Structure 1
Amino acid sequence: MKKRSICAVSGVTACGMKEGKFGLALIRASGTAAGVFTENLVKAAPIQLMRSQIRKGRLDAVIVNSGCANAYTGQKGYEDAVVMTGYAGSALGVEPDRVGVASTGVIGRYLDLPLIRRQCMEIAPGLASSVQAETLAANAIMTTDLYPKHALVEKETFTVAGITKGSGMIAPNMGTMLAFIYTDAEIGAKPLKEALKLATRRSFNRVVVDGDTSTNDIALCTATGESGKVRDAEFSAALEECCRMLAKQIAADGEGATKLLEVRVTGAAKEEYAAKVARTVIESPLVKTAVYGEDPNWGRVVAAAGRAGVKFDPNAVSLWISDGKNRYPLVRSGEIIADLKKAKEAMNSKTVIFILDLAAGKEEATAWGCDLTERYVEINGRYTT
């Protein structure tokens, strides 16, 4: 079903096109801006450019290409990223240094700039605030994604919305995921940056598909301010909700995935401890394959939690499994009470949830991932061929 999200935000227009593996999207929106980026030491050229460019705290547009990551391409790659901002700036009538740029695709290949320039000129006249235009933009940025990803959070006085792509090379600290988020709230550069960092930490940085952190991860947020001022705390909560919705879609669309895996950790001494345990469980190949096989081998969850580097009493933990509707106890305060038949029934769902109480405090965190299937190997074993 086609969805409208970013184009529901006042002041945002978009469009895109896809030709085989090579797509291009343009998004036009002027306002205060902030960004977060991959923590991989090998950073793609557009990431290097944007880490500098975003310091100005404002964007007027974004240009995104798929099919070529423009990563590990040296000085030429950096110069090509600059050229892309010039293409968008010329086509949209904005200054190039106020154009965000992102790329996704194969690492170690140079951009086809003539193709990008032609696509840019063809797309620019079609920018619109419509379901069709947004769908074209969201489809244009996909690589191995099976479907475009949209999120919309509507509050009484403002809206936050976003589109994203991401399916493989997804791990904490972001993965080959691109996210473009917009709001019509009026908010300053500093609180916008703080809100985006917090939202990212609690959403995109808690998604694991395969444990690889990409060279190209980027999340940009632009505030057009057309709906007026809002309280920082209210905006931060809405932004986090939007990012969480996008993150769950990325996890569910993991390469070769058949199930969404969610791990909720409660009873931790600190939120960061809960997050660390949740991520460790989510990224465990043993847990992921058990979920794929619908094998109620829940001991793998406890074992993974135990190697997370977080202190807790294993004899005090409680564990449940859920399909999103029904919840069944597996361990209560260290005592095994598992009904394996019911646990297997829960694993027959498209969503499998483990709730783990560490009984060590009051903090909690949730992480998202997917099962690990033969299809993942097929996709990545022939990614460039």
Structure 2
Amino acid sequence: MEKVLEKEGWITIENGTIATPLGFFADGKHCGLKRKKKDIGVIFSEVPAAAAAVYTMNQMQAAPIFVTKDSLAVDQTLQAIVVNSGVANACTGKQGLDDGFAMRAITAKHLGIAESSVAIASTGVIGDYLPMEKVTAGIESLQVNVGGSSDFHEAILTTDTVQKELTLQSEIGGKTITISGVAKGSGMIHPNMATMLSFITTDAAVSAELLQKLLKQKVDQTFNQITVDGDTSTNDMVVVMANGCAGNASFSEGTPEFAVFTKMFYAVCQHLAKSIARDGEGATKLIEAQVKGATSKVDARMIAKQIVSSSLVKTAMFGEDANWGRIICAIGYSGGRFSPDNITIKIGEIAILEKSETAAYDPEILAAYLQKETILIEVNLHSGIEEGTAWGCDLSYDYVKINACYRT
């Protein structure tokens, strides 16, 4: 495997997959939920893994969320996650829930593990029932003792144009620890969370309780700070499995070892979150909003996310128009606390607003910057010391085309 050394001291495994951490396997197949592309996949751990999950805040939660919650309620461990794309199994009533539990049972029987050791996830069209004969055949075709781990990632995609993945590795406490993550998501993205699924595996030993606390914290800082279109889906889920196959002593909170692990975990989550934002349906640019000088982290994150959520900001970035009035307007209705008379806004390194008044800048230099694929909007509120970041994308003509024809 090709490895690239990072400044933080860990290594990026360039061709890593969700099955790169020790003890994990994965596969993906085509079972007929989509016309040609792979549409069902599985992640499998050869030993029970401590597990944690976070879910969509949409009150219309899809059947797979109830099934996964049921599995994790037993002992907070998992050995497998089975995922289908093409059909969301959302808003499908009792039949949808029965089908979800059937997916779990079929997977458990196929892999020879307990039903409560299986989580499930689905993504695709809302309101359609799963064709269970195809799903059953698909699950039974999955293999977890040979290659195919990259096929899993293909199997979870819908309107995504690229695969989103990252594998990091570092020596922690004398043991080689690997963390790998994959994600899907392109539209209906406004996490808390969105048609966004993400799965993270690690061979580190971490208690389920500590893993849940870490996941919630880092999701709040990353996945919950991205937006594409302001719509929060019925199926969002992030699941992490830690199987301990690296042989380390289980991490304890507050130790140097856990601090390194936490940084790696955050780096994986941030990379996946930014990849989702950049791959927004029809997107041409990634927009990053950094808010500094806030009175609280909550305010900073709230304001940053409101900026990247604004349809007017998003369309301005698509049109390469430095209309800072749209940015200051988004700040104003964000709900965050600040002094309206002392705000600085920069696009890239170019100040366009100082102390809430127009700054002198070269329009040609700014126009050239706005042609880039990644746009940084920096806001300083001059009200405190806290910071927050959010990521989004521009809003293009193609977004309307894609979503106007989603079912057809």
Q: TM-score, normalised by structure 1?
A: 0.94
SS of corresponding position for 1:286: helix
CA positional deviation for 1:331? 2.1
SS at match of 1:220: strand
Paired position in structure 1 for 2:63:
45
Structure 1 partner of 2:220: 201
Query: What amino acid sits opposite 2:192 in the alignment?
Result: N
Task: Tell me by how many angstroms 1:222 deviates.
Answer: 0.4
Amino acid at match of 2:397: E
Please identify runs of 4+ aligned residues in structure 1 that moved more than 4 A: none
Query: Deviation digits for residues 86-134 of structure 1, max 9, x if unmatched?
Result: 121122111111101000000001001111111112222x544x5xx22
Contact persistence 2:312–2:326 (CA under 8 A): yes
Q: Does 1:34 align with 2:44?
A: no
User: Following the alignment from structure 2 to structure 1, what is the Cα–Cα distance between the partners of residues 130 and 283?
Assistant: 30
The answer to whether residue 151 in structure 2 is matched with residue 136 in structure 1 is yes
| Residue equivalent to 1:24 | 40
Partner residue, 1:79: 98
Q: Is the 8 A contact 1:27 1:127 kept in 2?
A: no
Name 1:12's counterpart in structure 2: 24
- Structure 1 counterpart of 2:374: 351
Alignment counterpart, residue 328 of structure 1, candidates 350, 363, 379: 350
Q: Partner of 2:305 in structure 1?
A: 279
Shift of 1:250: 0.2
Separation of aligned partners in 1, 2:187 and 2:205? 34
Asked whether the equivalents of residues 330 and 339 of structure 1 are also in contact (C-alpha less than 8 Å), the reply is no
Give 5+ residue unaligned stretches, structure 2: 3-13
CA RMSD of aligned residues (A): 1.6
Q: Which residue of 1 aligns with 2:7?
A: none
For the structure 1 residues 333 and 100, does the alpha-carbon distance in structure 2 shift closer, same or farther, using more than 3 Å as the test? same
Aligned residue for 1:237? 263
Contact 2:165 2:183 in 1 (8 A): yes
| Whole-angstrom CA distance in 1 between matches of 2:157 and 2:242 | 24
Structure 1 residue 309, shift from structure 2 partner: 1.2
Q: 1:340 to 1:231 in 2, by over 3 A?
A: farther
Question: CA offset at residue 298 of structure 1?
Answer: 2.0
Aligned to 2:19, the other structure's residue is in SS state: helix
Structural mapping, 1:1-385, within 5 Å: 3-18=15-30, 19=32, 20-21=34-35, 23-29=39-45, 30-55=48-73, 56-124=75-143, 127-128=145-146, 133-157=148-172, 158-227=177-246, 228=248, 229-232=250-253, 233-234=258-259, 235-322=261-348, 327-337=349-359, 338-385=361-408
Residue 382 of structure 1: CA displacement? 1.2
State whether residues 17 and 150 of structure 2, in contact with CA within 8 Å, keep that contact through their aligned partners in structure 1.
no
More helix, by proportion: 1
Aligned residues: 377
Q: Per-residue displacement from partner, 1:319-345 (whole Å, max 9, x unpaired)?
A: 1112xxxx2222233342233222221
Q: 8 Å contact 1:167–1:253 — kept in the other structure?
A: yes
Paired letter, 2:15: K
Long gaps (5+) in structure 1: none
Offset, 1:61 = 0.5
- Measured after TM superposition, the shift of residue 231 of structure 1 is 4.4
Q: What SS is found at the alignment partner of 1:78?
A: helix
AA partner of residue 178 (structure 1):
L
